[in-house]
């Protein structure tokens, strides 16, 4: 009997991942730098990055992937307003699944790193672990969830006037910025901050936190527990 779904994955020596990203790609870079490092390569369960997928043809993250010989894929998302959003979303998610299937490797984890499109239940189901009822899809969000979900986490927290903010790595579920929290990191707002300096401080935390999470996953440091109100939370071994 395994403690959690991660142990099942760790029966293999290679853990296969893809990254979904829509833009700049600094989190994708942070993950890649770790995955390419000796630290990872010498681990008994090393991460393998099988590709970076983007809905944005001109995303700098695709350029970064090309420069670093990471397989990169532009997966179109129709902008045709005559087609209902739900259909366009469904079509895009279907294309994502087909591309991931075509990689001919079983993908263990999907890392969203600034991925600005909604993942559908069909997509998530493709990565569903039945025993733990978790989707093997992880996201990083620029606020201390559940505060400030949505596309402008830094801006919303800054404009609210928080004294401390943070970043969250979480499992993705059917609702936006809602799934089980894996870990969080906190940073302070300084008196002379503007939105740029505030966001930059947060972004540094993101890179450290996301890499820390994938290290802990590969070292089987997480246990999935249940709160009394039926949410899950992650504790450490
Ligand atoms: C990050 O702040 C991430 O938390 C948010 O979008 C931003 C993406 O930045 N979801 P990058 O593309 O990883 O540089």
| pLDDT tens-place string over residues 133-188 | 999 999 999 999 999 999 999 999 999 999 999 999 999 999 999 999 999 999 99
CB of 206 closer than 6 angstroms to any ligand 1 atom: yes
Q: Which residue has the higher pLDDT, 196 or 228?
A: 196
Give the number of other Cβ atoms within 10 Å of residue 27's Cβ. Answer: 26
CA–CA separation, 96 vs 102, rounded Å? Answer: 10
In the chain, which ranges are continuous DSSP H helix?
5-9, 26-35, 38-41, 60-67, 85-102, 121-125, 153-160, 195-218
Reply yes or no on whether the pLDDT at 206 is more than 90.
Answer: yes
Per-residue model confidence as pLDDT tens digits over 223-234: 999 998 889 999
- What's residue 172's pLDDT? 98
Report the residue among 19, 54, 140, 213 best suited for mutation to probe ligand 1: largest number of ligand atoms under 8 A from its CB.
Answer: 140
- 6 by DSSP, 3-state: which? helix
CA of 195 from ligand 1 middle (Å) equals: 15
- What's residue 4's pLDDT? 86
Q: Which residue has the CA at smallest separation from atom 10 of ligand 1?
A: 114
Per-residue model confidence as pLDDT tens digits over 33-56: 999 999 999 999 999 999 999 999
CB of 25 closer than 6 angstroms to any ligand 1 atom: yes
Reply yes or no on whether the pLDDT at 92 is more than 90.
Answer: yes
Q: Which residues contact 175 (CB under 8 A, 6 or more apart)?
A: none
CB of 24 closer than 6 angstroms to any ligand 1 atom: yes
Q: Which residues contact 4 (CB under 8 A, 6 or more apart)?
A: 132, 222, 223, 224
CA of 228 from ligand 1 middle (Å) equals: 32
CA of 117 from ligand 1 middle (Å) equals: 13
- What's residue 3's pLDDT? 75
Report yes or no: 21 and 27 within 8 Å, Cβ to Cβ.
Answer: yes
CA–CA separation, 106 vs 16, rounded Å? Answer: 7
- What's residue 2's pLDDT? 67
- Average pLDDT in the chain: 97
For the question of whether the overall pTM of this predicted structure is more than 0.95, the answer is: yes
- The per-type count for the chain, helices as H runs and strands as E runs, is 8, 11
| 225 alpha-carbon distance from chain centroid | 21
CA–CA separation, 70 vs 61, rounded Å? Answer: 11
CA of 151 from ligand 1 middle (Å) equals: 10
CA of 114 from ligand 1 middle (Å) equals: 4
CA of 142 from ligand 1 middle (Å) equals: 7
CB of 23 closer than 6 angstroms to any ligand 1 atom: yes
What is the enclosing helix (H) or strand (E) of 138? strand 137-141
């Amino acid at each position: 009997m395994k403690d959690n779904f991660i142990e099942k994955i760790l029966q293999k020596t290679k853990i296969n991942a893809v990254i979904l990203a829509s833009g700049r790609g600094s989190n994708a870079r942070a993950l890649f730098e770790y995955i390419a490092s000796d630290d990872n390569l010498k681990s008994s369960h090393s991460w393998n990055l099988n590709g970076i997928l983007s809905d944005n043809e001109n995303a700098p993250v695709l350029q970064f992937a090309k420069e670093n010989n990471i397989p990169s894929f532009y997966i179109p998302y129709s902008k045709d307003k005559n087609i209902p959003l739900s259909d366009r979303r469904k079509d895009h998610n279907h294309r994502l699944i087909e591309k991931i299937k075509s990689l001919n490797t079983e993908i263990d984890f999907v890392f969203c790193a600034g991925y600005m499109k909604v993942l559908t239940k069909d997509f998530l189901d493709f990565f569903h672990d039945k025993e733990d009822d978790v989707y093997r899809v992880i996201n990083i969000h620029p606020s201390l969830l559940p505060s400030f979900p949505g596309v402008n986490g830094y801006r919303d927290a800054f404009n609210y006037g928080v004294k401390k903010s943070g970043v969250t790595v979480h499992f993705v579920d059917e609702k936006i910025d809602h799934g089980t929290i894996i870990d969080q990191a906190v940073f302070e707002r300084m008196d002379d901050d503007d939105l740029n300096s505030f966001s930059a401080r947060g972004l540094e935390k993101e890179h450290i936190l996301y890499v820390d999470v994938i290290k802990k996953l590969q070292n089987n440091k997480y246990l999935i527990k249940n709160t009394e109100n039926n949410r899950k939370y992650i504790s450490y071994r």
